[in-house]
Structure 1
Amino acid sequence: MESSQISVAILVMREASASTIYGMHDLFKSANRDWQKMLNRGSGKESIYPILVSNDGLPLSVDSGVNIVPDTSLEKCPEVEVICIPDVMPSPREFGSELFSEVLLDWLRKRYSKGAIIAASCSGPMLLAEAGLLDGFDATVHWAWCGMMRNRYPKITVQEDRSLVISGSEQRLIMGGAGTSWMDVALYVIARTINMEVAIQVARVWLIDWHSIGQQPFACLSKTQKVEDGLVARCQMWIEENYTIANPVLAMVQLSGLSEKNFEDRFSMATGMAPIEYVNALRLEEAKRLLESSELSVENITNEVGYDDLNFFNSYFTRKVQMSPEQYRKHFGLVRKLIAKEITSLPSDADFT
């Protein structure tokens, strides 16, 4: 490493994905180097020196089965300006403090107290939360983990609609929410530690499009995993087939045999969502699917998913998804059509093996 380079430690954990670890590594190596190559000016001088760091520095196999050889261990890691935390692949239900050693959490606390910037993407911000570094601050995390973060760490203000949040003391905690937000995080680190122009150059070389629309349009609003409460699970299964009917919550109450208040309390306790919120989430997910895949008018889709008030549907959809039904169709309908076009253009005997 040269004295003029910015040093960035990238954590390597068994629960992480190789694409995020190596993707960050390659973007950082690209900074101030590859743009010059593209313009036939030779190879520019690398501005960032990435270091792969694990608990013990020994080779390990990460979640996807890729074997990674770290550069060093936590104990031997030199002082760095930035620490990057990749994703953590276990599901929210599998999350527990046992995933992260106290050695690692203490290392993060000490490095942060010495002035390091810590950047985490996807579910990686859960480490910051577990280390207590986010208490009293805004944060974001992958949409599937937002509920877990909010419930487990009540001192944190979770901004689930945002794909990038800068927070903490001296704004030294950088968090990207959804899966590929590690690109946003890496570009932000490059812009902050070098300059904006270099970050833009990297984005242009790698064809990276900033996730400015946030992560809510990508989120599955209905967390439909079955719960341990058998009665609630039975109501879940029933409502997933009958959410378009009038008065769906009342129908679930009658199915449960409980009083309305007891049912709502029990359902909310089991699922983390009020019954009407759960129904609306199911309806919105179906509306999103229809907007992507059909030519039905927004008014017809409103009726298809169980609403009879177009203005209410438009307002509710926009508030929850962070874009209007028309905007959603334009963005995601186009993506679906482009993928479908590429698939149908393949020869009939195309070999996918």
Structure 2
Amino acid sequence: MPSSSASASILNVALLALPDTTASTLFGLYDLLLSARRDWQILLHRNPVEPPILPRIVSRDGRPLRVANDVEVHPQASLAEAEGADVVVISDLMIPPWQPLGDRYDLEAEWLRAQYEAGATLASACSGAVLLARTGLLAGQEGTSHWGYCEQLQRDHPDTRWHPDKALVTAGVGQRLVMAGSGTSWHALALFLIARYVGAEEAMQVARLNLLSWDSSSQLAYAAMARTSQVADALVARCQEWAAQHYDSEAPVAAMVQMSGLAERTFQRRFVQATGQTPLDYVHTLRLEEAKQMLESGDLPIEQVALEVGYQDASFFGRLFRRRVGLTPAQYRRRFGGLARRLAGVAKE
């Protein structure tokens, strides 16, 4: 799988087009992903470069189709021709939350499962999580979608913990299931994919050029996200999956050692070889990413946020957060929670 450390290789992204797809999100994702590095180099350095991401619009048979709002889309490949993609993105679906998806996209769901099993990252934008959930891959995982869909998704898929308040959720082995929440959170999805597979700075460049709601300090957040990539070592991958669900436990590293059946030093060495991080650093990364989500979207006291993600000592949490993120938790909340407050203020005018 590509990684942020291998920015020279081309990342192949399949954007799935369905009759219920909304054209704005589909083409918006296409344009943002294709603009990575390319537009910044052209506008600031007059240096045309090949983009590091190759998005392709794909459909069941590769033939033209009319998507939601009667927009005609001309896919660039069929599902068969798009096999082996590094990332597959399900755009949002214009279907009522209460309307059963039925079996009309089961062929696509089967194809999505096959791509995931082959090592691809699967991502959904907004209500696209309805199809992602249909694959069965979210069982026992956390997820998000548009807030208007999460209640029905919880009823239809009770074995998934849905978070309507989160803009972005990652789950599964190696965090290879990525879901963006409501509306234009697909911007965050595109930036996340660019950061993980190309680099934090390129993601920030795209954000700056398009006036998206991130400032220069957020590159540290992107960098942390990029370090949770999938590994080939099945034993370590299993521990990664467990840690993604239990990072808030009292002694997660000890639990992973026990799960592995290896001696502690052997496990530590094998984990570092597979991920480039110690098990403890990996747990810290997961905890801090969850803390960022909580700081952005809620108003819990910082001491409570620390407890929720697994830190009994709020002072230690604060020092670690500042060292890793470059901001204190309070500064981070002011900076990234500010947009929600500004929008709420506009709504009251």
TM-score norm. by structure 2 comes to 0.60
1:78-89 map, 5 Å: 78-89=83-94
How many angstroms apart in 2 are the aligned matches of 1:29 and 1:75? 22
Mapped pair 1:58 → 2:63: yes
2:18 aligned with 1:13, yes or no? Answer: yes
Which of 166, 170, 185 aligns to 1:181? It is: 185
Bigger radius of gyration among the two: 1
Give aligned-pair identity as a percent.
Answer: 39
Partner of 1:108: 112
Q: How does 1:78-157 map to 2 (within 5 A)?
A: 78-100=83-105, 102-157=106-161
Tell whether 2:43 aligns with 1:31: no
Distance in 2 (CA, whole Å) between partners of 1:208 and 1:99 is 35
Inter-partner Cα distance in structure 2 for 1:164 and 1:57: 30
TM-superposed deviation, 1:135: 0.1
Deviation at 1:330, TM superposition (A): 4.5
> Where do 4+ consecutive residues of structure 1 move more than 6 Å?
326-329
- How many residue pairs are counted as aligned between the two chains? 223
Show the 5 A alignment for 1:239-278: none
Q: CA deviation at 1:147?
A: 0.7
> Looking at both structures, which has the greater relative contact order when contacts are Cα pairs under 8 Å and sequence separation is at least 6?
2
- Asked if structure 2 preserves the Cα contact closer than 8 Å seen for 1:62 and 1:68, the reply is yes
Q: Distance in 2 between matches of 1:72 and 1:327?
A: 38
Q: Retained in 1: the 8 A contact 2:84–2:118?
A: no
Q: Would the alpha carbon gap of residues 79 and 330 (structure 1) be closer, same or farther in structure 2, given more than 3 Å must change?
A: closer
- How big is each residue's C-alpha offset from its partner over 1:152-192, in whole Å with a ceiling of 9 and x where there is no partner? 11110111211100111110000001011111101100100
2:164 paired residue number:
160
The aligned residue for residue 272 of structure 1 is: none
Distance 2:144 2:90 in 1: 14
| Equivalent in the alignment of 2:304 | none
What SS does structure 2 have at the residue aligned with 1:96?
Answer: coil
Partner SS for 1:39: helix
Mapped partners of 2:35, 2:147: distance in 1: 29
Q: Which runs of 5+ in 2 are unaligned?
A: 1-7, 219-332
Shift of 1:94: 1.9
Compute the displacement of 1:331 (Å): 3.3
Name the TM-score, length of structure 1 as normaliser.
0.60
CA drift at 1:329: 6.5
Gaps of 5+ in 1: 213-321, 338-353
Counterpart CA distance in 1 for 2:149 and 2:341 is: 26
Q: Is residue 184–residue 210 contact of structure 1 (8 Å, CA) maintained in 2?
A: no
Quote the Cα distance in structure 2 between the aligned partners of 1:94 and 1:210: 35
In the TM superposition, residue 76 of structure 1 has moved relative to its aligned partner by 1.9
Match of 2:292 in 1: none
Q: Is this contact kept in 1: 2:23–2:71, CA < 8 A?
A: yes
Distance 2:30 2:141 in 1: 28
Query: Residue 97 of structure 1 contacts residue 130 of structure 1 at CA under 8 Å; is this kept in 2?
Result: no
